């Protein structure tokens, strides 16, 4: 059985091709080159805003219903990341000229 360090290296090695595909995805390359139109970025912001708000509501429910302190701590530990993502998204929204009213009335694209 591998030790923790070996296991970490094995996982990193196995995930390297996926990481490369994500890092050099055409959308990210176009974004870095300033080739993504504002309309597409606005859709991204709207979708992410709806997702993060839903995630926060779900986390609140999970925290309230957690049967053990360990479970509660696990769910609470996720909140700072969601808050950071939400703050960064608000910054992007403002940079795109999207206000709170636009974010609240945005209708997510059905799956």
Q: What is the pLDDT of residue 47?
A: 97
Tens digit of each residue's pLDDT (9 = 90 or more) over 73-95: 999 999 999 999 999 999 999 99
Whether this prediction's pTM lies above 0.75 is answered by: yes
Q: What is the pLDDT of residue 92?
A: 96
Six-digit token string for 11: 């996982």
Instruction: Considering only the C-alpha atoms of the chain, give the largest distance between any 2 of them, rounded to a whole number of Å.
Output: 55
Q: What is the pLDDT of residue 95?
A: 95
Q: What is the pLDDT of residue 111?
A: 80
Six-digit token string for 45: 């912001």
């Amino acid at each position: 059985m591998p030790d923790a360090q070996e296991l970490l290296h094995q996982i990193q090695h196995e995930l390297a091709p996926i990481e490369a595909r994500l890092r050099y995805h055409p959308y990210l390359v176009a974004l870095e080159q300033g080739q993504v139109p504002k309309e597409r970025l606005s859709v991204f912001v709207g979708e992410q805003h709806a997702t993060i708000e839903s995630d926060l509501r779900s986390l609140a429910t999970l925290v309230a219903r957690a049967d053990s302190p360990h479970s509660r701590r696990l769910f609470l530990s996720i909140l700072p990341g969601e808050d950071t993502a939400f703050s960064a998204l608000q910054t992007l929204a403002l940079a795109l000229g999207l206000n709170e009213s636009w974010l609240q009335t945005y209708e997510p694209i059905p799956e």
